[in-house]
Amino acid sequence: MAKAKTEFVCQACGARSPRWLGRCPGCSAWDSLAEEALETRTVKARGGAEKSLVRSITSVGAEKLERTSTGLAELDRVLGGGLVPGSVILLGGEPGIGKSTLLLQAARAVAASGNPVLYASGEESVAQIADRGRRLGALTESLFVVATTELEVVLAASHEVKPALLVIDSIQTLRSSSLDGAAGTVGQVREVTARLVDMAKQHGIPLVLVGHVTKEGSIAGPKVVEHLVDAVLAFEGDRGQGLRTVRALKNRFGRGGEVGVFAMTESGLEEVASPSRFLLGDRRTSLAGSIVAPTCEGTRALCIEVQALVAPFNFGNPRRTTSGIDSARLAMILAVLERKAEIPFSTMDVYVNLTGGLRIDEPALDLPIALALVSSLRGRALPPEFAAFGEVGLGGEVRAVGHLEARLREAKALGFASCIGPASRERTEGLMPVRTIEEALGWIER
């Protein structure tokens, strides 16, 4: 293929240059210019001039999307009900989290119904993929594999197979020969993605792209292609015993924020239909410093355990260690407790942990975190029949959060008679309403 026209684009400020420069003329950043293909595609009106290019929004009927199940209800939920033809999904996650495993399982399910699936890997040999497939019970005749790092090979293979699902593992390992630069550079990742997206849209093939995530949490390289894809899924969690979650950060064919929950086993990823039970399974009832909180992710309520440990500190600065929650949120809660309950946290080390390796950013965790902190400090547990949720304001007020019904229902299903939470006009059954953080702390004294 002829080499496409290229230009050099600063990855920091977007300034363009026809030549490579060591320093960006726009923002003076060093070594920030990367080669990218020039956009040369021109818009061609289809069907001649007499045909109108636009139509009134009222004349557009509601289209029913034909969806293909991935065989994993948890993944289907995150996608909004399955794979949509021509949709492009970016699945990001740290190495070893289980991206290849998850997609090979999905490929197995789609191929099992006789539809061809193409799994293209630039990371593993076909022998390695087949070996994994054997362990996952994914040896199906209509599952085709190709090991390559060349985009053009993938496109040709796809042309041959005409797959009902195309998996690219991973986007950073592919390179196009129409562009200089190694695989994984911003220019290559962008070009490879654009070409694959074009192909998927043209032939109505659902396309899943794997993207590796850097330590900072951004999908390295692929961060720049997030706008090119229809859905961005983040695969996160504990590589040990805990749960792994797939979260929709963006979804044009479903609601964002939905989460699917999995556990890694000997035979691949297993769906966890009741994560609350999984998470609270070995919890000892009524422990000082431990509070159960019904959180909400997407449309799903999830009971998790918040653990806190407060201890006097010896020297230097007091420690603030969090796992699973936002540390800025903890700092705010500590400041409010310091003011409202006159607890001198500045003289104490504080550790807060969500069990199960989950990470949850939800203001509804404020109140359970505050209760767990004070419970640990006082060495007294909350009565075992209580769970807690609610946002805490800077004035110490306990604020309403969404999905009240779902939270109360989930807590009840797990055997909690009542939730300490924000007062609500809608419902009081199963709710122990509190207006302020002081009022909530009263429950630890008894």
Q: Which does residue 171 bind out of Mg ion, ligand TYD, none, counting CB within 5 to 8 angstroms by kind?
A: none
Min dist. Cβ of residue 98 to ligand TYD (A):
4
Closer to Mg ion at the Cβ: 219 or 401? 219
Beta-strand ranges (E) seen in 317-410 are 320-323, 348-354, 386-388, 391-392, 398-399
Closer to ligand TYD at the Cβ: 78 or 301? 78
Looking at 34-42, 65-73, 131-139, 255-263, which segment touches ligand TYD (CB under 6 A)?
131-139
Binding residue for ligand TYD (CB under 6 A) from 33, 97, 224, 358? 97
Report d(CA 392, CA 334) in Å as an integer.
11
Residue 101 interacts with Mg ion (CB under 5 A)? no
Q: Which does residue 93 bind out of Mg ion, ligand TYD, none, counting CB within 5 to 8 angstroms by kind?
A: ligand TYD
Q: Dihedrals φ, ψ of 150, to 5°? A: -105, 125
Q: Which does residue 114 bind out of Mg ion, ligand TYD, none, counting CB within 5 to 8 angstroms by kind?
A: none
Residue 121 interacts with Mg ion (CB under 5 A)? no
Binding residue for ligand TYD (CB under 6 A) from 87, 101, 172, 295? 101
> Measured at the alpha carbon of residue 334, what is the angle toward residues 328 and 338, in degrees to the nearest 5?
145
Residue 402 interacts with ligand TYD (CB under 6 A)? no
Q: Which does residue 268 bind out of Mg ion, ligand TYD, none, counting CB within 5 to 8 angstroms by kind?
A: ligand TYD
Min dist. Cβ of residue 207 to ligand TYD (A):
17
Give the residue from 255, 217, 253 showing the smallest Cα distance to 234. Answer: 217
Binding residue for ligand TYD (CB under 6 A) from 135, 320, 378, 380? 135
Strands 300-312 and 348-354: antiparallel
Amino acid at 310: V
Binding residue for Mg ion (CB under 5 A) from 32, 70, 100, 105? 100
Q: Please give the residues from 212 up to 271 whose contact with ligand TYD meets the rule CB under 6 A.
A: 264, 266-268
Report d(CA 63, CA 56) in Å as an integer.
15
Residue whose pair of structure tokens reads 């809608």 in the numeric block: 426
Q: Which does residue 303 bind out of ligand TYD, Mg ion, none, counting CB within 5 to 8 angstroms by kind?
A: none
Closer to ligand TYD at the Cβ: 170 or 295? 170
Asked if residues 100 and 123 have their Cβ atoms less than 8 Å apart, the reply is: yes
Q: Which long-range contacts (CB under 8 A, 24 or more apart) does 334-342 make?
A: 334/373, 336/370, 336/392, 336/393, 336/394, 336/396, 336/437, 337/370, 337/373, 337/374, 337/437, 339/396, 340/396, 340/436, 340/437, 340/438, 341/374, 341/437, 341/438, 341/441
Residue 415 interacts with ligand TYD (CB under 6 A)? no
Give the binding site for ligand TYD (CB under 6 A): 93, 95-101, 132, 135-136, 264, 266-268
